[in-house]
Structure 1
Amino acid sequence: MTIGFAACRRAAITAVFIGPLLHAPMALAETLKIGISALDDISHVNLQAAIAAGTFKKRGLDVELTVFKGGSPAQEALAAGEVGIVSASPPGVVAALNRGAGQICVGAIRHNASAWYLLTSAASPVTKLEDLAGKKIAIVAKGGTTDFYANWAIQKVGIKADFIPLGTQPTMAAALKSGQVEAAVMFNAFANNLITSGQARVLIDYGKELPKHMPACYASNQAFIKTGGPTLEKFWGGWIEAARKFHADKAWAMDFLKSFYKESDPKVLDFMYETSLRYTEGDPRTDAAEMEATIKMAGVELKKPMAELFTNAFIPEMK
C-alpha cells in the first residue's frame, strides 16, 4: 500500500448501517462495502431508502458505506479491494478503463440531471455562460459529476474556466455568496434554497438542457465481479424494491426524507419528494446509446470496446 493511498483512506469516513432485526432466525448476513461521495447526496437517496426500508437486509445483505473525498481515493480503494463498488461518473470509469484498471459500470444510479444547476450569485455581474471565461467555478471534487457538468457548460460556449473543488455543498454555497467563486454546480435542497431565497440565479438548469444520459453509476472491477456477482444481484434486488416502495407509499417516503435530510419544512420536503421521484426510477439498466451520449457530453474518448464499459448482468429481470 502506498503512502498516498493510506492518506486517502484516513480521509474517508466510514458509516455502517445495520438493517432492522428480523424475527425469524437467519444465517449471518454478508456485507457489501460501497464507496460514495456523500451520505446526504440526492444521488444516493435510493440507496439510503433501501437501507432504511430493510430491503437489503431482507436478502441477507448488510451494506457498509464509506465516504471518500473525491474520485481518486474511491478508485484506489476499489483497486485495492477495500470496497466492492463505488459511486462514479461514467467518464471517470472510462478514464480508469483506458488506464487498464478493469473497471466497469454495473448499474445506473440515475438517468437524468433533475435538480442540478449551474448557479451564480444574485449579486454577481455574470448573466450568461460566456461571462465565466477565466472565472472560478466551484465543484465538489475532480472527476465527479459536478466536474462533469461544469465541463459540459464551458464546452457548450467554448470557454475556459478554473474549477475549484470545495468538497461539500455548504462550503460551495458559502463561497458563491461571498464572491470567492463566480459560479457553482449545485443540486438538491441546497440549490433550491439558494434559488428560492433570491441569493442565486440559474445559469443552467441541467435537468432541462441535457439529453438523456447516465451521469452516475456504481462501478466495480473484474476482481470483485468474479466472486461478487450474487452479492450484486442481492444489492440490485433490494435497490429496486426500495424504489417501488418509495413511489407506492408517499407517507413512508416523506417520513424517510424528513429523517434523511433532517428537514421539517413541508414545502422543502414536498420539493425533495418530487425531485427524489426522479432519482428512484427503479430501473438501473443502461444501454450503449445512453453510454455513448454520456461519453460524448463529457468530451472523453473510450479506447476500449463499449462492452467493457458497462454490464446489466447483475440486475434482476424487470417485471
Structure 2
Amino acid sequence: MAALLSITAACGSGSSNDAGGSSGSGGLTDVTVGIVPFTPNAVLFLAQKNGIFKKHGLNVTTEKAAAPTPIVASMVAGKQQFGFLTTPVLVNASSQGTDVKCVSPIDGQISPDRDASALVASKDSGITDLKDLGGKKVAVVQLSSINLIGAQKLITDAGAKGTEYVAMPFPQMPQALADGRVDAAVITSPYVESALEAGAVPLAHPSSDLWPNGTIYCYAATANYLKENPKVAQEFHDAMVEAITYTKDHEDEAKATLVDGLGLSAEQAQAQVIPSNFVPEINTDSIASIEKVMVEQGAIKKEVDPADLVWNPQG
C-alpha cells in the first residue's frame, strides 16, 4: 500500500502576519505562487475566484514561468512564496543543496484514467511505437522534468537507443511537431489537444503509466520560508486541500476558470480533463519510485528520504 503523507492541521487557519508574509488589504497575507500554465491550474484558479484562499487568510496572486526550475530561483530570491515543482525538480534541488519541500498537492494525485499529458509522435514522422524513437528528437518542457524522466524510462525499456531530448515550452510543441523540428514530444493539456487535432500519434502516458495515483508535482516552498511562516504554510495547504476536495464534485466550475487563467475559449476550457484522482495527499512511495529511476538514469547520485521533501508542520 502506498505511503500517503497527509499534513495535519497543527496551526489554526485565519489571518497571518508571520515574518516574510506581507499584510494585504482586509488583514489578508499576500503571497505569490509561481505556476507553469497547464490545465491543473484550474484548482488554484478556483480557490482564488471562489474566495477559498481569502477564507484561509490569504490573498494569492500568480506568476507564470515556462518551467519549474526558474520557480525555484524565484522562491529562493523571495519573489515567490510558493511554486509549482515537479518531483524530479524537487529532488534535484534538494540534492544540490537547495532545501525545498512540498506543501500541498496541485490537484490531487495523477489518475491512471485521466492523464492529460502524453508522449506523442508527429503526424509525418512514421513513428507508431516507442521503439521507433531510437535516434529521434523528443521535446520535453525541461531537461530535469518528470516528462524527461518518464519518457526516457519508457523509451529505453522499449529498446530504443540514441534518443535526443530537447527542452521546449509546452505552447511551442504543437507547431514544432507540425513543422518536423521534433519527432515527438511529451506535451500536456491544453496543448496536447492541439497536437492531436493536427494528427499527432499518441504513444504513451509516461506519468500515469509509471506512477499511477502518484505525486508527480506539488506546490512547494523553501525550508527557510516554511520555518519562518508556518501559519501561512498551513493556511495555503488547508486552502488547497479544500479546493481539491471541492473540485472533485465541481469540475466544470473549476475548468471555467481556464478561460481567464489560460486564455482558453469556454468550449476549450470545458473540453479539458483535470488529470487527478482528487486525493489531496502526497504519495511518498511514488516519490521514492521516481528517485530510483533518477538514480538509474544518472540524474542524481543517491536518493533522498521522501519524507524530507514534504513539509511537516510538526517540525
- TM surpasses 0.5: yes
**Equivalent position to 1:279, from 276, 281, 284:** 276
Residues 1:70 and 1:269: Cα distance change in structure 2 (over 3 Å): closer
Mean Cα deviation higher: 301-310 or 96-105:
301-310
Which residue does the alignment assign to 2:190?
189
**Equivalent position to 2:162, from 150, 160, 163:** 160
* Residues 1:309 and 2:306 are matched in the alignment: no
Residues 1:269 and 1:287: Cα distance change in structure 2 (over 3 Å): closer
In the alignment, the residues of structure 1 paired with residue 247 and residue 98 of structure 2 have an alpha-carbon distance, to the nearest angstrom, of 36
The alpha carbon displacement at 1:173 in A equals 0.5
What per-residue deviation string (whole Å, max 9, x for no partner) do you get for residues 16-53 of structure 1?
A: xxxxxxxxxx8421112222223xx1232211111121
What per-residue deviation string (whole Å, max 9, x for no partner) do you get for residues 124-163 of structure 1?
A: 1112212212221112223233333333333333533222
Which residue does the alignment assign to 1:16?
none
Contact 1:46 1:243 in 2 (8 A): yes
Residues 1:295 and 1:108: Cα distance change in structure 2 (over 3 Å): farther
Contact 1:88 1:144 in 2 (8 A): no
Which residue does the alignment assign to 1:317?
none
Which residue does the alignment assign to 1:199?
199
In the alignment, the residues of structure 1 paired with residue 194 and residue 65 of structure 2 have an alpha-carbon distance, to the nearest angstrom, of 26
Higher relative contact order, chain-length normalized (CA < 8 Å, sep 6+): 2
In the alignment, the residues of structure 2 paired with residue 70 and residue 253 of structure 1 have an alpha-carbon distance, to the nearest angstrom, of 23
In the alignment, the residues of structure 2 paired with residue 154 and residue 72 of structure 1 have an alpha-carbon distance, to the nearest angstrom, of 24
The alpha carbon displacement at 1:207 in A equals 6.1
Aligned-partner residue type, residue 310 of structure 1: V
Aligned-partner residue type, residue 246 of structure 1: T
Contact 2:170 2:188 in 1 (8 A): no
Q: For 1:42, what is the secondary structure of its paired residue?
A: coil
Contact 1:115 1:207 in 2 (8 A): no
Mean Cα deviation higher: 181-190 or 208-217:
208-217
Which residue does the alignment assign to 2:242?
241
**Could you tell me the percent identity over the aligned residues?**
22
* Residues 1:58 and 2:55 are matched in the alignment: yes
Contact 2:139 2:182 in 1 (8 A): yes
In the alignment, the residues of structure 2 paired with residue 308 and residue 254 of structure 1 have an alpha-carbon distance, to the nearest angstrom, of 33
In the alignment, the residues of structure 1 paired with residue 203 and residue 58 of structure 2 have an alpha-carbon distance, to the nearest angstrom, of 42
In the alignment, the residues of structure 1 paired with residue 83 and residue 165 of structure 2 have an alpha-carbon distance, to the nearest angstrom, of 23
What per-residue deviation string (whole Å, max 9, x for no partner) do you get for residues 235-266 of structure 1?
A: 12222222333333456345434444544464
Mean Cα deviation higher: 44-53 or 235-244:
235-244
In the alignment, the residues of structure 1 paired with residue 109 and residue 56 of structure 2 have an alpha-carbon distance, to the nearest angstrom, of 26
> Per residue, is there more helix in 1 or in 2?
1
The alpha carbon displacement at 1:182 in A equals 0.2
The alpha carbon displacement at 1:269 in A equals 4.5
Residues 1:83 and 1:115: Cα distance change in structure 2 (over 3 Å): same
Q: For 1:141, what is the secondary structure of its paired residue?
A: coil
Pairing 1:46-125 to 2, within 5 Å after superposition: 46-109=43-106, 110-112=108-110, 114-125=115-126
For structure 1, which runs of at least 5 residues remain unmatched after alignment?
1-25, 315-319
In the alignment, the residues of structure 1 paired with residue 277 and residue 258 of structure 2 have an alpha-carbon distance, to the nearest angstrom, of 13
Q: For 1:46, what is the secondary structure of its paired residue?
A: helix
Mean Cα deviation higher: 305-314 or 112-121:
305-314
Pairing 1:125-136 to 2, within 5 Å after superposition: 125-136=126-137
What per-residue deviation string (whole Å, max 9, x for no partner) do you get for residues 177-203 of structure 1?
A: 1111000111213223432x3511111
Contact 2:93 2:100 in 1 (8 A): yes
Mean Cα deviation higher: 124-133 or 305-314:
305-314
Mean Cα deviation higher: 92-101 or 294-303:
294-303
Q: For 1:173, what is the secondary structure of its paired residue?
A: helix
